[in-house]
Amino acid sequence: MNDANAMEQLDKLLRNVSPDLNSFLEAVNEHMDETPIWAMLVIFGKFVISYDQLREDGTESEAFQEAAARASADPLTQALVGQMMAGMANRSVGQ
């Protein structure tokens, strides 16, 4: 994104939500199952926490891209994408 103000606002949002999101995910961890909504929440949480950690470590301009790359490479993300693709293929074949 080339909009500096938008990126600044996104940075603030992700950095501010990280501690509360992390606490929430820890609190509900034992109640999660393997449904896509929980998987997406965990993936988003990992992205936010990774972004915040990268920023804490001093990475600024590449933090968003690096956090997104880490989230994309996560096995949970890969499994969710695989499930979604299989579901789409099954629906296409069934039509």
Between the two ends of the chain, the Cα-to-Cα distance in Å is 38
Low-confidence ranges of the chain (pLDDT < 70): 1, 94-95
Question: What is the predicted pLDDT for the residue at 95?
Answer: 59
How far is 20 from 43, CA to CA, in rounded Å?
15
Q: Could you give the C-alpha distances from 35 to 48, 61, 91, in angstroms and in order?
A: 20, 34, 18
With beta carbons less than 8 A apart as the criterion, state whether 74 and 62 touch.
no
Residue identified by tokens 């950690």 is 53
Helices 75-94 and 36-56 meet at what angle, rounded to 10?
A: 150
Question: What is the predicted pLDDT for the residue at 19?
Answer: 93
